[in-house]
Amino acid sequence: MNRHHIVLTAAEQALVDKIDLRLDIASHEDGHAIYLANRELIPPLLKSLADRSAIPAQRVAYWTDPKFRTGRMKGAHRDIFARNGSKGIDAYTHPHFIPFLRYFLFGADLPAPVIAEFEQKIGDPRWFGGSDIIGLAKETRAIVRRYNLRHYSHSDEFHKLAIDNGLSHDNAESVRKAAVEAARR
């Protein structure tokens, strides 16, 4: 088990095993049926996780805190869902919430060697200082190129990984920008 995966109870694991967490659904599959099935499973899972505070605080903040969201529209990810008509349970069962649920459960969606190399470059996050971000940004660009992580979503995954490793919001944002720069070249 990856160290970034949260520990689930047996009942939570049973729910996760039934939830369709795929990000891409083939065109020949019934996406509405998948949505309906997930709609019955996700709320009890989230309630159980919330009741025991199992989701790390930085992951919840990624969903609820506006500073963790970049882009033209202002507000937290949760606020954007609300502006589009998905509030409360409707937001959590919306198909576009699946990436957030995956992050809550498993952390950043990057290959294990990438995560290991990135974390090795950070070292002990307690000793990571403001001047260290320049070197980490350079190393992040090198990792993106070495592993050919050119998809736009990879920069957000590096941002999440930086947050999970205790980097400040500003340093995590610098990591995200470095990953974007490397993916464009």
Tell me which of 73 and 136 has the higher pLDDT. Answer: 136
Considering the domain architecture, whether residues 48 and 83 belong to the same structural domain is answered as: yes
d(CA 59, CA 106) in angstroms, rounded, equals: 10
**Domain assignment present for 155:** yes
In a domain, 123, yes or no: yes
Number of Cβ atoms within 10 Å of the Cβ of 181: 14
Instruction: Outline where DSSP puts E strands in 32-156.
Output: none
Residue 5 maps to a domain:
no
| Residue range(s) defining the domain that contains residue 148 | 112-184
Percent of the chain with pLDDT over 70: 99
pLDDT in tens, 11-53: 999 999 999 999 888 777 788 889 999 999 999 999 999 999 9
- Residue written as token pair 């992951």: 59
Phi-psi region of 184 (alpha: psi -120 to 50; beta: other; left: phi over 0): alpha
Alpha-carbon distances, residue 39 vs 9, 23, 33, 132 (angstroms): 20, 16, 10, 43
